[in-house]
Amino acid sequence: MSFTALLAYAAALFIAAAIPGPGITAIVARALGSNFRETFFMGLGLVLGDMTYLTAVILGLAFVAQTFTEVFIVIKVAGALYLCYIAYKLWTAGLLPQDIAAKKASSAGMSFLSGLLVTLGNPKTMLFYVALVPTLININSVGPREYCTLLATTFVVLLVVLCPICCWRRGRASCSSSPARCRR
């Protein structure tokens, strides 16, 4: 795996992670409704979900790519078409007002589990990996070292996207209830 391919993967993952979706909505709601610790653990759950999908794609698609070349091409095209459809729907939907409310989790473990389940329940995440990883990285040449490099890159990129949200917390929420607090 070349450095250029890894950099392209990291850039595409950064853009995809920063685009609002179920994961970003959930972590923003958690940041507004609870403390840093619970929000951070939810972010770690989101990251583990992405890493799980990355692992499934690399293990599963390596077999499919070696055995069923035509099926592999169909999966890549279907994934790319779905991502285009999602992009079109996001582009034409405009801004939709939503009330975001978070329910306090009872523990960091529950926050972690919430983040993990949000990601695992989101088929868009899986299709992102199905369409992106095989396009940027030769799956047949991914060995243990390349796999660990991909996992580390995924972890770092997602933390770069999610940590500012975790730290954002209640500062903005208090501005709506007391504008004088924001002027200080």
Establish if 100 belongs to a structural domain: no
Which pLDDT band holds residue 176 (cuts at 50, 70, 90)? very low
pLDDT at 26: 87
Cα angle 68, 71, 72; round to 5: 85
Residue 38 within any structural domain of the chain = yes
179: Cα within 13 Å, side-chain hemisphere? 0
Query: What one-letter code names the amino acid at 58?
Result: I
| Within a domain: 110 | yes
For residue 180, being part of any structural domain is answered with no
Tell me if the pTM is above 0.75. Answer: no
Within a domain: residue 179?
no
Q: Is 99 within the bounds of a domain? A: no
Is the residue at 35 inside a domain? Answer: yes
- 35-62 exposure pattern, b = at least 16 Cβ within 10 A, e = fewer: beebbbbbbbbbbbbbbbbbeebbeebb
Q: How far apart are CA 181 and CA 176, in angstroms?
A: 9
Residue 163 lies in a domain: yes
> How far apart, in Å, are the Cα atoms of 18 and each of 110, 116, 137, 181?
24, 17, 22, 29
pLDDT higher than 60, residue 136: yes
Output the pLDDT for position 91. 81
Confidence of residue 169 (pLDDT cuts 50, 70, 90): low
- Among 22-31, 87-96, 109-118, the minimum mean pLDDT is found in 87-96
Q: What is the pLDDT of residue 116?
A: 92
**What pLDDT is recorded for position 47?**
93
What pLDDT does residue 51 have?
A: 93
Q: What's the number of domains the chain is made of?
A: 1
Query: Do residues 43 and 166 touch, judged by C-beta distance below 8 A?
Result: yes
Domain span including residue 48: 3-93+105-170
